[in-house]
Amino acid sequence: MHKALSRRRFLSNVGRSTAATVLVRPALSFTHMNSVSGFFDVGDGTSLSWQDQGVINTANSPYAKLHGVPVRAVTIEEGFWSKRRKTNVERSIPTLRVELEEHGRMDNFRRLVGKTKEPQKGPYFSDSDIYKWIDAVGWALQSDAMPELRRTTDSMIREVVAVQEPNGYLNTYYQNDRVSLRMSQHDQEVGHEMYCLGHMLQGALAYYRGTGDSTLMDAGARMVDNFVLPNYGPGQNQKPIISGHPEIEMALIELYRTTGKRQYLELAGYILHGDDRWTIDPERIVYMFCGIPFPQRTKLEGHAVRAMYACCGAADYYLETGDQAYWKALNTLWEDLTRRQMYINGGVGARAQWEAFGAPYELPNAQAYGESCAAIGNMMWNWRMLAASGEAKFTDVIERALYNGINSGMSLDGTTYCYRNPLAFDPAHFDGFRGSPNIRNPWYDVTCCPPNIERTFSSLPGYFYSTSKDGLYVHLYDNSTLDWHLEDGTPIKIQQKTSYPWEGAVKVTVTPAEPKDFTFHLRIPGWANGASIAVNGKPEPGAKPGEYLAIRRNWKPGDSVTLNLPMETEVVASNPRVAEDRGKVAVRRGPVIFCMEEVDQAKSVALADVSISLSQSAKFTSEYKPDLLGGVTVLHHGGGVFEVSSAEEALYAPASLAPAKTRPAELTFIPYYAWANRQPCAMQVWTPYVRT
């Protein structure tokens, strides 16, 4: 490992990159400024009102090729995601609020102002549960005003900020009797103070972008301004600061994007650099994904959510500074992710022990950890890589994680959640998880995943489109309407009509306010071999899987683009180094990964004994079932059940070259995300195959 850059060298580097950044900052001008409040001066004087800021606000990021659109600009209509999003606001967000109350998460705040005598409850990062829930509400309020939810959340925010100390400090675990523990090296490594502040800022920014109410954001900024910045950082009179659980980095940079205050970016950069005044156990440097300069990282390791959030912060730092060492490291880590560490469902973090990445290709199925938060972190990181590059390979990862490893994390009725997302499951061999006999639960004492999934679904419209200097990008397909503007201010509407992901036809209507020359970039998913596109009925050549097809023309109101993505079922093999998947295949149709659940198979078919029969002529049949699992496409394929002649058969016998004996069976596959929504039964994504 290289010797860490010294603190002094880091500071001089920051000075240089700051100066360079100011020089190259492009003069983006948004003319569509219709709001009357909430303007902030960002860097060069260009600013976006709160209504116009995306999930991340890269409007002024000098190294962003793509700029997000606000959640409110996209209306997701009746289709695949509308069901999830309706459940999210009608069931998930309200039921989780009840759980948060019942488990004392708000009483932790009330306790400090004498409103309750309840003791502190939950782990030291419990405040973040409230902030992530507020995060989910903030985005949801962009899609629908929901006055009652707004009132409830406003009053929670008032109870949160009421406990802020005059010096700006706000963390219920470290107030009153635990003041002396604050920000010690031990607590910075394990205590999550900066993690909670990060979630406070993210929740506050979501709420600000949803409502224009800056109460929580102002409180978060006060903690940074009055408590963190004066006391922690590289200066002679400041104490060391590290990120025991990355999160603060991306939150500080988002606060910088919103307020224009450059110290936030510089502090994030310093934390990403690591603080060499403290000696940190090398194992913890691996586990925390913090403590050495981020650009020295060459592989994903340690705690998966920490690593993903660190990559998000580092990508944000690159978007603002253009630091090439960061971009190089991020791409090296991304290659490691996609070549050696990512599950087929977009999940990451194979090991339950330390919730960590395993060795390269260590991707067990039943033992997979695959925390919902890690898949979400993966999506968030790739969203930032996409903003920096405009490359569709990053969108492919977003789609893979979103439809599968994230979507599996919430039950179809929206009230129970997976913390782990295994790729094989047998109730007979399941020892329960964190004290519960179930894989899906309404509550975990470490309840990071439920509100994380909720905020992902409520912010989802913000991931559909981006603008760029030359036009517009479409990333995701579903029935929806975009009502926004090009970067030159020309108002534009885009409508999508589709049955995606069950069918591959997408009809897109492009309606600029007036005829306009611009480039429309349509994403051709990496799996879509043979995709075709037509503009006003005329074939448009050049569609390549895993790229955006750039169509530059004079677009007129009502122009239509038809996209045909071949929704064919494919069997997928893994790299043979993934030991558990050798001799097995998984089934994918479009962006959806399928699995088998035992409940869908014939009575005599035990999942542990099945194989899929592959030949040139064997084909899948597909069938849309509106009444099954909220409406899913089901796949069928011929297979077999391994015959075991008798229970008395020897455990070991001379190997035979004859093919294993099987009896035929029809196999039924459902989308992986919908597993574990009926009675507990065996499930598997990877199935042995026999050639016939």
**Closest distance to Zn ion from the beta carbon of 419 (Å):** 6
**Closest distance to Zn ion from the beta carbon of 381 (Å):** 15
- Tell whether residue 449 is a contact of Zn ion (CB under 5 A): yes
Nearer to Zn ion, 343 or 465 (CB): 343
User: With 0-12 CB in 10 A as exposed, 13-18 as middle and 19+ as buried, what is 86?
Assistant: middle
Helix (H, G, I), strand (E, B) or coil at 548: strand
- Tell whether residue 375 is a contact of Zn ion (CB under 5 A): no
Nearer to Zn ion, 452 or 479 (CB): 452
Please, how many CA atoms are within 13 Å of residue 55, restricted to the half-sphere of its CB?
A: 25
Cβ proximity of 311 and 357 under 8 Å: no
- Tell whether residue 379 is a contact of Zn ion (CB under 5 A): no
Compute the Cα dihedral for 270, 304, 344, 67 and give only its sign: negative
Side chain identity, residue 530: G
Q: What span, in angstroms and rounded, lies between the C-alpha atoms of 291 and 518?
A: 45
Nearer to Zn ion, 71 or 453 (CB): 453
Nearer to Zn ion, 247 or 597 (CB): 247
Nearer to Zn ion, 93 or 373 (CB): 373
Q: What span, in angstroms and rounded, lies between the C-alpha atoms of 144 and 83?
A: 15
Give the residue closest to Zn ion by C-beta. 373
**Closest distance to Zn ion from the beta carbon of 355 (Å):** 8
Render 319-369 in DSSP notation, one character per residue. Answer: HHH--HHHHHHHHHHHHHIIIIIB-TTS-B--BTGGGB--STT---STT--
Only one of the segments 441-449, 474-482, 511-519, 533-541 lies at the binding site for Zn ion (rule: CB under 5 A); that segment is: 441-449
- Tell whether residue 307 is a contact of Zn ion (CB under 5 A): no
Contacts of 400 (CB under 8 A, 6+ apart): 342, 344, 345, 346, 591, 593
Nearer to Zn ion, 448 or 596 (CB): 448
Only one of the segments 133-141, 175-183, 442-450, 556-564 lies at the binding site for Zn ion (rule: CB under 5 A); that segment is: 442-450
**Closest distance to Zn ion from the beta carbon of 345 (Å):** 16
Kind and range of the H or E element at 67?
A: strand 67-68
User: Residue count at the site for Zn ion (CB under 5 A)?
Assistant: 4
Only one of the segments 11-19, 32-40, 444-452, 566-574 lies at the binding site for Zn ion (rule: CB under 5 A); that segment is: 444-452
For the record, the structure tokens of 470 come out as 């030359």
Q: What span, in angstroms and rounded, lies between the C-alpha atoms of 337 and 269?
A: 23
**Closest distance to Zn ion from the beta carbon of 241 (Å):** 24
Nearer to Zn ion, 42 or 310 (CB): 310
Q: Which position has the token pair 């609020």? A: 97
Cβ proximity of 418 and 548 under 8 Å: no
In the window 197-236, what residues touch Zn ion (CB under 5 A)? none
Nearer to Zn ion, 43 or 370 (CB): 370
Cβ proximity of 511 and 558 under 8 Å: yes
Only one of the segments 49-57, 446-454, 569-577, 654-662 lies at the binding site for Zn ion (rule: CB under 5 A); that segment is: 446-454
- Tell whether residue 510 is a contact of Zn ion (CB under 5 A): no
Render 115-144 in DSSP notation, one character per residue. Answer: S--PPP-S-TTTHHHHHHHHHHHHHHHHH-
Only one of the segments 184-192, 372-380, 401-409, 673-681 lies at the binding site for Zn ion (rule: CB under 5 A); that segment is: 372-380
In the stretch 535-574, what mask flags binding to Zn ion with x, by CB under 5 A? ----------------------------------------
Nearer to Zn ion, 305 or 398 (CB): 305
Side chain identity, residue 203: G
For the record, the structure tokens of 72 come out as 């409110």
Only one of the segments 61-69, 189-197, 279-287, 443-451 lies at the binding site for Zn ion (rule: CB under 5 A); that segment is: 443-451
- Tell whether residue 448 is a contact of Zn ion (CB under 5 A): yes
In the stretch 342-371, what mask flags binding to Zn ion with x, by CB under 5 A? -----------------------------x
Q: What span, in angstroms and rounded, lies between the C-alpha atoms of 218 and 213?
A: 9
**Closest distance to Zn ion from the beta carbon of 107 (Å):** 22
**Closest distance to Zn ion from the beta carbon of 313 (Å):** 18
**Closest distance to Zn ion from the beta carbon of 448 (Å):** 3
**Closest distance to Zn ion from the beta carbon of 341 (Å):** 18
Q: What span, in angstroms and rounded, lies between the C-alpha atoms of 296 and 10?
A: 13
**Closest distance to Zn ion from the beta carbon of 376 (Å):** 8
**Closest distance to Zn ion from the beta carbon of 84 (Å):** 18
Nearer to Zn ion, 70 or 347 (CB): 347
**Closest distance to Zn ion from the beta carbon of 449 (Å):** 3
Nearer to Zn ion, 407 or 468 (CB): 407
Only one of the segments 1-9, 50-58, 95-103, 449-457 lies at the binding site for Zn ion (rule: CB under 5 A); that segment is: 449-457
Contacts of 358 (CB under 8 A, 6+ apart): 341, 350, 351, 364
**Closest distance to Zn ion from the beta carbon of 125 (Å):** 11
Q: What span, in angstroms and rounded, lies between the C-alpha atoms of 367 and 193?
A: 31
Distances in whole angstroms, Cα of residue 72 to Cα of each of 84, 143, 204 = 17, 6, 17
Cβ proximity of 255 and 201 under 8 Å: yes
- Tell whether residue 373 is a contact of Zn ion (CB under 5 A): yes
Nearer to Zn ion, 449 or 486 (CB): 449
Nearer to Zn ion, 128 or 175 (CB): 128
Q: What span, in angstroms and rounded, lies between the C-alpha atoms of 186 and 440?
A: 33
Q: How many Cβ atoms from other residues are within 10 Å of residue 651's Cβ?
A: 4
Q: What span, in angstroms and rounded, lies between the C-alpha atoms of 570 and 64?
A: 35
Nearer to Zn ion, 135 or 371 (CB): 371
**Closest distance to Zn ion from the beta carbon of 617 (Å):** 44
Q: Which residues bind Zn ion (CB under 5 A)?
A: 371, 373, 448-449
